[in-house]
Amino acid sequence: MENRNENITEPRLPNEVVEVYRQPGPQEVVEVYSCPLPWLKTVQPAPAKPARPRRKLVWLWVFLGCFAVTAALAVAAWLLQPEPVPERDEDPFFKWHGEIYMERDEPSDEITIPAWPVGQGAELDVTRQHGEVLTIQEVYKKVNPAVVTVVAHLPDSSSVGAGVIFTEDGYILTNHHIVKGGQRCIVILETGYSYHAKYVAGDAENDLAILKVDETGLPAAEFGDSDDLTVGDPAYAIGNPLGVELRGTLTDGIISAINRDVEVDGRTMTLLQTNAALNTGNSGGPLINQYGQVVGINVIKMSSAYASVEGLGFAIPTSSIDRIVNDLLTYGELKPEPLLGVSVSLVSTEVESNVWGLKVVEMVPGAAADLAGVQVGDYILFADGDELRTSQDLLRVRRQHHLGEQMTLTLWRDGTQMDVVLQLEEAVE
């Protein structure tokens, strides 16, 4: 175990300006009464005649007064002039806030954090099973011990975010933008213990990164399937809003939208939308379902330059995290997804008593499904033996495959059930 309770360098923040009123110290007050002696008479002095000012001095004071008034009006006009409204082309209506804690003058994307080797057999397990619905207190008690504070030391500042422990031997999932440009990294557990973390791998396009601490017996979070979510389900977030001081903060809300395509820095990400409060420092932390399972990694919030915007947070769903993380753990990079070349209905249809399948509505000529003999109008019942109830079920099975592998589909055609084998040789663009 290394560097427990290490002194963490706080990120440099702007100096806080506080107006201070200091009450003057108490002064002794003495009431004095003077009684005039009876044998003395008070002589009132004759009032002095006011001196007649010279005409030249009067004109000088008039000139100085006019000059002062003119200067005061000019200063007031300068201070009260409205700020120019930015052009929409330069300042778009919506701004996306990745949670980099401090901006740097010359940002560098290179990560020089000491490395941990890939291919060590570690794996992120996403389960489709869940237990009973938990209270919000039970959710926090279950997940918070697995949430860590991530502090990446950059060349001239620090980046602060959150992370989630997903194996008991110290593998941690966080956002790539938190460690981008990092030279070393420290993680702080809920208990206050701190560890030097090493960098395993990351993917900037999907904004995910994996860290490793050399420790065992750590509390690991349970990851659930985001495809089981529906709009309106309860959602919870745990993170470190505004940095280290408020770490372990819990916020709650609902799932506001599913499979929301959002363009971020020129790339499109398919995300979960939630109204659970997300702030600077929540990035990399978990979005949690009502069963206490992590179903997303919080990544961005939306704000507007022209209006007040609240409750628009987004998280990377575990349905895509599963494949990305396991590719990074095994290969150190994300492998391309294979193309099936088939479009199906969103939900399955009962084609016979207790037989459900996804109807094939479109084919890509020459793709894997076409070459395997799949036809428009067929119903896909199973993929690699897994029953298909929605199109997301088919995508989930596809994500488990890489180029060069095979995938088996069970079809229903004209009352006959058959199996076809797809040769996955072409990648999804």
Positions marked active-site: 177, 207, 283
β-strands 234-239, 171-174 pairing? unpaired
Half-sphere exposure in the Cβ direction for 260 (13 Å, CA) = 18
Backbone angles phi, psi at 47, to 5 degrees: -65, 140
List b or e across 394-412, with b for residues whose CB sees 16 or more CB atoms inside 10 angstroms. bbbbbbebbeeeebebbbb
Q: How far is CA 113 from the centre of its chain?
A: 21
Burial class (CB in 10 A: 0-12, 13-18, 19+), 218: buried
Q: How far is CA 341 from the centre of its chain?
A: 33
Q: How far apart are CA 301 and CA 299, in angstroms?
A: 7
Q: How far apart are CA 144 and CA 286, in angstroms?
A: 9
Which pairs count as long-range contacts for 6-9, CB under 8 Å and 24+ apart, including other chains? Answer: 6/186, 6/194, 6/196, 8/151, 8/186, 8/188, 8/194, 8/244, 9/151, 9/153, 9/158
Q: How far apart are CA 96 and CA 313, in angstroms?
A: 10
What amino acid is encoded at 403 in this protein? L
Half-sphere exposure in the Cβ direction for 356 (13 Å, CA) = 13
> How many residues comprise the chain?
429
Q: How far apart are CA 166 and CA 326, in angstroms?
A: 12
